[in-house]
Chains A and B, each alone.
Chain A
């Protein structure tokens, strides 16, 4: 394989994983922007998103008397995908909102350490739920349709190249990008989005303007949870596995992405996610997958030490 083909391949893999990381990172950045809390449990909400969609993807075919989703009639596959996506998004959104209500809201005026520790506690509970639900070892996440592993360049377009770009890769983008655009539109164009931005800027002043702070913060958790749910489905589909511990590692990666882009900044989280994805893919290829985690976390330390505001932290003061 020539070097540029390798480079493009790394970029493609990194971009797909990066999109997943970015979706999770958005949840961190939204929450941090509005209440300055590192929502430690967010990565595990993402993990439960994968679990929910896995359950849907295996349960619906079994209702129809089939063993695998790939045996379903082709025209039903998009519907199944949509159902799984909605179930995962709604489930995670409600879960995230419930967590905020039960574990963070009572502590909003407590010393700053208290909600963080509460978040760590919630994270442990969610991990344990995942462990009981799907067992200790990674579970296979089935391909919904055999065609998702088709290579677009060779099989569909008939171009002879060594670069491997499957329908699955395309699907990741088709799901992730509209979600991010929708979030961006919501935050910048709607009344509720404006309320979120106002609350992030100055909670007390926003309250004086008649904004319902509790509702706005709950909405932020709802949005973050929905994105994490979508990321959960996409991650399961792309990596073909679901594991109760994926949330911890994925969450840390996503947090790194959020910090890299400038925490509190929506574009920053998106860019940071893609960048982290590419860095991880590069490290997988050039070094060794065993070192990837150390590389990413080392990067996190370096960013925080040398540029704690992140890449976009200063240029875009607008926070969501």
Chain B
């Protein structure tokens, strides 16, 4: 108890000093807003501390209600998503055509989150695997492919599985030699790979029909019923089902032995290795699993659009996916889901709507100059500006994962502690860390 009482006195030494000493302990810059937040966090904790019993009770209450609140939010979200086609038609939005690509990109973002968020490997060429998956399906099913021209047309479902496997294999092929590289070198290698793959597809005209692209591509079917590109609502539910299944799998992975190994590796490779984690195997699994997600997404995307060309897979796709992951909160499944929907809506719907709105405004007297403004041309700027602002104001994303939050906001932030007795000792330990870290 005495230790805790001393907290307010320690605070100036730990979190209260706005200069560099404070930054050492929470591992992030302390200037501006972020530093203020760290100080505020420390404040609330230390004010709660003297009334220990009430604090734990209210904490428990807050925790419960948050859980319940989350459940309610989730239910609303699920109903909205499930009923979206009805809402869309009812309100006359006519956005089904945009919704389906958004969902595919959300699926990809979830896959990228495994690589970047869970395992901490920065992949700037994720679109390469997207392209590999899409082209695998096209190669097996489209009439322009030399394979199909010789009479080997493959069933879509088989092609989908092949695409999944091929992308995973390419993940291993790229991953095996490069994974021992340091973080930003790995980023550049993946970036280079992401540039090479679409270019190769563009140049290998005999196999891929070059810049003219390939169509039509095999479609999903059940019995005699085929899913056409115009059947947007069934496509929506198909992708939604895949998405739900992926969320389930990723959620399970997150807490599994493998998932915990990924996170241990992300935090400290040497410590993880000395705990018996096989770094190469763990990294390769993350990389190839991420790649196969992307390949799967690419296959669905190509089949959904019924058309594929090399220009669908350029660098901006990789970056958009990365932005989805970062915006929502690196490593947090729900955050990424939200970030993905937000970015997708921004990219496919809002910019266009806003551009149309500005154009319609320009017919008003006095606002004629607005006619020259075309937001579609400034998409990159909006996008880049959002990335920079996000990094400056909230580098942990909108919904950061608990670990990430703790990492960025100082050790005491939000790791939920469930064992009653451990709370106090943990608290003391963290206090000690904070003070020790403050002097660094």
Contacts from A to B (Cβ < 8 Å): 36, 38, 102-103, 106-118, 120-125, 127-129, 131-132, 248, 252, 255-256, 259, 288, 290-291, 293-294, 297-298, 300-301, 304-305, 308
Contact = CB atoms under 8 A, between A and B. Distances in A.
A107 B184 contact: no
B346 interface: no
Contact of A125 (B177, B192, B385, B392): B385
Given A124-B384, A255-B188, A298-B196, A304 B181 contact: yes
B6 interface: no
A107 B378 contact: no
A204 to B, nearest CB: 10
B122 A106 contact: no
B203 interface: yes
Interface in B375-401: 377-381, 383-388, 391-392, 395
B173 to A, nearest CB: 11
A117 B378 contact: no
Interface string B200-238: 101100000000000000000000000000000000000
A86 B177 CA distance: 44
B193 interface: yes
B199 interface: yes
B252 to A, nearest CB: 26
Given A109-B29, A111-B395, A248-B315, A301 B381 contact: no
Interface of B: 20, 23, 27-32, 122, 177-178, 181-185, 187-189, 191-193, 195-196, 199-200, 202-203, 315, 319, 322, 326, 330, 377-381, 383-388, 391-392, 395, 407-408
Contacts of B187: 38, 116
Contacts of A131: 377, 380
A121 B377 contact: no
Contacts of A115: 391
22 contacts: A102-B388, A103-B391, A106-B32, A109-B29, A111-B27, A111-B28, A111-B395, A117-B326, A117-B387, A117-B391, A122-B384, A122-B388, A124-B383, A132-B378, A252-B191, A290-B199, A291-B203, A294-B200, A297-B195, A298-B192, A300-B192, A304-B181
A301 B190 CA distance: 8
Nearest to A244: B380
A109 B28 contact: yes
A304 B319 CA distance: 22
B387 A121 contact: yes
Contact of A294 (B178, B184, B199, B384): B199
B380 A125 contact: yes
B395 A128 contact: no
B392 A107 contact: yes
Nearest to B383: A124
A291 B203 CA distance: 8
Contacts, number: 137
- Residue of A117, A129, A293, A305 ringed by the most chain B CB atoms within 10 A: A117
A308 B385 contact: no
B28 A121 contact: no
A107 B381 contact: no
A108 B195 contact: no
A129 B193 contact: no
Contacts of A305: 177-178, 181, 189
Given A121-B387, A300-B188, 9 more contacts: A36-B184, A111-B28, A117-B391, A120-B387, A132-B378, A259-B188, A290-B199, A291-B199, A301-B192
Given A248-B315, A298-B196, A301-B178, A103 B380 contact: no
B384 A121 contact: yes
Given A116-B122, A290-B203, A252 B195 contact: yes
Contacts of A106: 29, 31-32, 392
Interface SS of chain B: helix
A202 B279 CA distance: 29
Contact of B29 (A110, A113, A129, A132): A110
A294 B196 contact: yes
A103 B122 CA distance: 20
A127 B184 CA distance: 22
A132 B377 contact: yes
B37 to A, nearest CB: 14
A297 B197 CA distance: 11
Contacts of B200: 294
B183 A112 contact: yes
A110 B27 CA distance: 7
A113 B291 CA distance: 21
Given A125-B388, A308-B185, A301 B193 contact: yes
A263 to B, nearest CB: 9
B388 A304 contact: no
B355 to A, nearest CB: 15
B385 A114 contact: no
A118 B384 CA distance: 8
Nearest to A295: B196
Contacts of B23: 109
A252 B196 CA distance: 12
Contact of A297 (B196, B330, B379, B383): B196
Given A111-B27, A121-B388, A301-B189, A308 B199 contact: no
Contact of B122 (A113, A248, A288): A113
B181 to A, nearest CB: 6
Contacts of A116: 122, 184, 187
Contacts of A109: 20, 23, 27-30
A240 B182 CA distance: 38
A199 to B, nearest CB: 15
A122 B384 CA distance: 6
A109 B377 CA distance: 34
B27 A120 contact: no
A249 to B, nearest CB: 9
Contacts of B177: 305
A127 B380 contact: yes
A276 to B, nearest CB: 13
Contacts of B384: 120-125, 127-128
B203 A128 contact: no
A128 B188 contact: no
A102 B326 CA distance: 20
B189 A121 contact: no
Nearest to A131: B377
Nearest to B199: A294
Contacts of A297: 192-193, 195-196
Contacts of A127: 380, 384
B367 to A, nearest CB: 20
Contact of B391 (A118, A132, A259, A291): A118
